[in-house]
Chain A
Amino acid sequence: MADISAPLTTADGKPLKAALASAQARARRRAFFLVLPLLAFVLLTFVAPIAQMLHRSVHNPGFTTHTDIGSGEKTPIMVNLRAWFKENPPGTEPDEAAYEALVKDLVVLRELKAPGSVGTRINYERAGSRSMFTKAARRAEKLEPPYKEAMLDLDEDWADPELWQVMRGASSAYTFNFYLAALDLARDADGSIVSVDENRQVYVKLFTRTLLLSLLITFLCFLLAYPIAHLLATLPLRHSNLLMIFVLLPFWTSLLVRTTSWIVLLQSQGVVNDTLVATGILDDDSRIQMIYNQTGTIIAMTHILLPFMVLPLYSVMRPINPSYVRAARSLGATSWTAFRRIYFPQTVPGIGAGALLVFILAVGYYITPALVGGANGQLISNLIAFHMTKSLNWSLAAALAAILLGGILVLYWLYDRLVGIDNLKLG
């Protein structure tokens, strides 16, 4: 009885646990070195960019630091105005001291040739500000006190409380204002959070549309893929191989080709409309608009994402022995009951995997909506791309992307809670 509590030892008296640990440590070390290159690759190409994106979404030094393009030298800017903001709480009416600080800073900006970039930073949040900055900076040196009057002479808008609120927000490089903007919110003159004007609310609407369209596309993919996958899994190999090639064909074709062929098919002078008109089903004047709108986005994306649903479904259906359904039938179930109670539940892991895959791909899809989406078929990623390439408001683009990423992680978590990630079967 006594030796039960004593720790087990190896033949030479070392404690068994320690011996096991040291035996495994070597194997573990070797395994670690084996995966090291992959780990470095993942860190470099995946984790680092995401971290950088997240950082950029809360950090924008456009109003605090100027980086010289040639030398890369960093100079703090707007020093006086930022000091004034620090001394005075939000909502303070800008006084003469504030304007004096502003003018001094503008003089510095002019020397640094930076008014444009600072103006752009303010312009992100308040349209029309950029020209005010460049104009004022050009005259700043010649302005005489009282500065407030002088500035207002230049442009009435310098008294706009919203402008001062935006400048206050930008006066610290770290800010959550881009997230507010990404959710159609802003700070008013007192610094409290309000929603922006109705006609400027775009992002929430787009997030909602992205979510709904992605759900719809996922559902359509499921409806189409289920019978295809079933056919693939039950046909004799000879036929199913051919069918599999048809399913995979979209994979092997360039995305652009596939999307363009939808344009050819669906446009108002396209194949489908022409056929409908030629067979007399439609009038020549009432051709259906099927592309450059949401319909186009839905059709083209469903087609493109279909294989991602078919393959996981196929991989769970293939090993399902037909004798299960036969057993159910022999036990008295109609073919519908046998499907519903026996076959379908066994395919749920595949449905989950396919739906998750298609949904996540759809939420972030960019090129297809851009090509065939028209005005109301755009998704959130199109707007992210717009801010990346056109408006160059990278911080807002990063905030939008971070919200998208967060949303997907929440969905993933929900899926794990409801279905269980270990039930996922991708192939």
Chain B
Amino acid sequence: MQDREPNVATSDTDSAFVVFDRVQKSYDGETLVVKDLNLSIGKGEFLTMLGPSGSGKTTCLMMLAGFETATHGEILLDGRPINNIPPHKRGIGMVFQNYALFPHMTVNENLAFPLEVRGMGKDEREAKVKRALEMVQMGEFGNRRPAQLSGGQQQRIALARALVFDPALVLMDEPLGALDKQLREHMQYEIKHLHENLGITVVYVTHDQSEALTMSDRVAVFDDGIIQQLAPPAELYEQPQNSFVAQFIGENNKLSGKVIALDGDIATVQLDDGETCTALAVNCGGVGSDTLISVRPERVSVAAQGGPNSTSATVQELIYLGDHIRCRLTVHGNDEFVVKVPNSAGHSHLSVGETTQVSWLAQDARALDAG
């Protein structure tokens, strides 16, 4: 994890490898699918675009690959604007959501294709194809057709094909979407591994947040054509900047209310049930504005008498999960309030219907926009 640092620091446009500069995109001239996208990606970085369906992730990738043109703004690759470079000259490897392996060619022919169109000699081609196949552990499958491969195998071939011509930038559009959970986790690891070994820049699209968190150097959370937050995974989870991100990444308890006082970066919020609590003022506006407080379940302590923000809670449901117990409580009128109680020695035993006390630090409660 430590070796990520050099990649992340590239927020300045000069040293960035890929830059989206005020890019907008509209398909129909009526609605903007991508609204004012500014993003710079450092060389060797693994950047993930994460967002719900229809948020414009694929569109961004297609603009970068050259299959869609930006309606406004500029995209720079290695300092050069690429708006006028045709797709085949961009030298970008791409893994498609459906793999797009050529069905009438064998695996070997599929992999040789990018080398062939670059005019590479036969011997060199064969050597590279072989190496690429071994890289994804598919050495024996060279003579098969794509239809004779399983989904996971096809995925590896698609990956090998996108890498075989040594592109500096590889785009992947939900490459693991069609795989089962176990295979997906295995492939996540392999892709990550290849990224580290080859030193390529990867722009990765997914709507699976755990995939985004485990693989990426930085994650861009998309919604509604806008980057809601661009940050390393830990920061994204610990310090969401708005309620969409807080909701979208990880589990989250929300309490809505109104800001009644601001003291430095601590806001006092009057909740809907009339009680007040304190929270970190992140993105809540001034006194009088509506806000949504976000608290992570693992930051709430149960049965701690007299702590900060202490309030009473009624236990609604208990789910035993081995290492911890998931409690659903009613807190400040919100009966979807979830708390994770560690299954440690001497923890308090709760029972359904019981009333107990919960509390959390003001620093762990983030007052965000009202969403």
Question: B-contacting residues of A (Cβ < 8 Å)?
Answer: 321, 323-324, 326-335, 337-338, 341-342, 345-346
Contact = CB atoms under 8 A, between A and B. Distances in A.
A328 B102 CA distance: 9
Given A321-B98, A326-B96, A331 B66 contact: no
Given A332-B91, A346-B104, 12 more contacts: A326-B65, A326-B87, A327-B100, A329-B86, A330-B87, A331-B113, A331-B165, A332-B88, A332-B114, A334-B117, A341-B113, A346-B103
A328 B113 contact: yes
B117 A345 contact: no
Interface residues of B, number: 26
Interface string B48-68: 000000000000000001110
Given A327-B94, A329-B66, A341-B113, A334 B100 contact: no
Contacts of B67: 326, 329
B117 A337 contact: yes
Contact of B114 (A323, A324, A331): A331
Nearest to B158: A327
Interface string B102-118: 11100000000110011
A323 B66 contact: no
Contact of B93 (A329, A330, A334): A330
A334 B88 contact: yes
Contacts of A328: 102, 113
Contact of B88 (A323, A330, A342): A330
A296 to B, nearest CB: 40
Contacts of B98: 321, 323
Interface in B93-137: 93-94, 96-98, 100, 102-104, 113-114, 117-118
B262 interface: no
Contacts of A335: 86, 88
Contacts of A326: 65, 67, 87, 94, 96, 100
B102 A342 contact: yes
A321 B96 CA distance: 11
Contacts of B113: 328, 331, 333, 341
B92 interface: yes
Nearest to A329: B87
Contact of A321 (B65, B86, B94, B100): B100
**Lowest 4 CB-CB distances: which A-B pairs, in order?**
A331-B114, A327-B100, A323-B100, A330-B94
27 contacts: A323-B96, A326-B67, A326-B87, A326-B96, A326-B100, A328-B102, A328-B113, A329-B88, A330-B65, A330-B162, A331-B88, A331-B114, A331-B161, A331-B165, A332-B89, A332-B114, A332-B117, A332-B165, A333-B113, A333-B114, A333-B117, A334-B86, A334-B88, A334-B117, A337-B117, A338-B88, A341-B113
A264 to B, nearest CB: 43
Contacts of B118: 332
A199 B119 CA distance: 59
- The secondary structure that dominates the B interface is loop
A324 B165 CA distance: 18
A330 B114 CA distance: 9
A330 B113 CA distance: 11
B34 to A, nearest CB: 19
B92 A330 contact: yes
Nearest to B95: A327
Interface in B124-169: 161-162, 165
A320 to B, nearest CB: 9
Contacts of A338: 88
A333 B96 contact: no
A29 to B, nearest CB: 36
A294 B124 CA distance: 54
Nearest to B93: A330
A324 B100 contact: yes
Q: Which of B102, B114, B161 has the most CB of A within 10 A?
A: B102
Nearest to B171: A330
A328 B109 CA distance: 12
Nearest to A341: B113
Nearest to B87: A329
Nearest to A331: B114
A332 B165 CA distance: 9
Contacts of B86: 329, 334-335
A327 B264 CA distance: 54
A235 to B, nearest CB: 15
A332 B66 CA distance: 12
A18 to B, nearest CB: 35
B162 to A, nearest CB: 8
Q: Which of A321, A327, A335, A338 has the most CB of B within 10 A?
A: A327
Contact of B96 (A327, A341, A342): A327
Contacts of A342: 102
Contacts of B89: 332
Nearest to A324: B100
A408 to B, nearest CB: 28
A338 B66 CA distance: 15
B365 to A, nearest CB: 45
Contacts of B114: 331-333
Contacts of B93: 330-331
Contacts of A329: 66-67, 86-88
B264 to A, nearest CB: 51
Contacts of A323: 96-98, 100
Interface string B159-186: 0011001000000000000000000000
A351 to B, nearest CB: 13
Nearest to B97: A323
A321 B98 CA distance: 9
Contacts of A324: 100, 102
Contacts of B100: 321, 323-324, 326-327
A332 to B, nearest CB: 5
B159 to A, nearest CB: 13
Nearest to A342: B102
B138 to A, nearest CB: 18
B174 to A, nearest CB: 12
A342 to B, nearest CB: 6
Q: Which of A329, A330, A335, A342 has the most CB of B within 10 A?
A: A330
A324 B92 CA distance: 15
B23 to A, nearest CB: 19
A337 B118 CA distance: 11
Nearest to B102: A342
A330 B94 CA distance: 7
B83 to A, nearest CB: 16
A197 B94 CA distance: 70
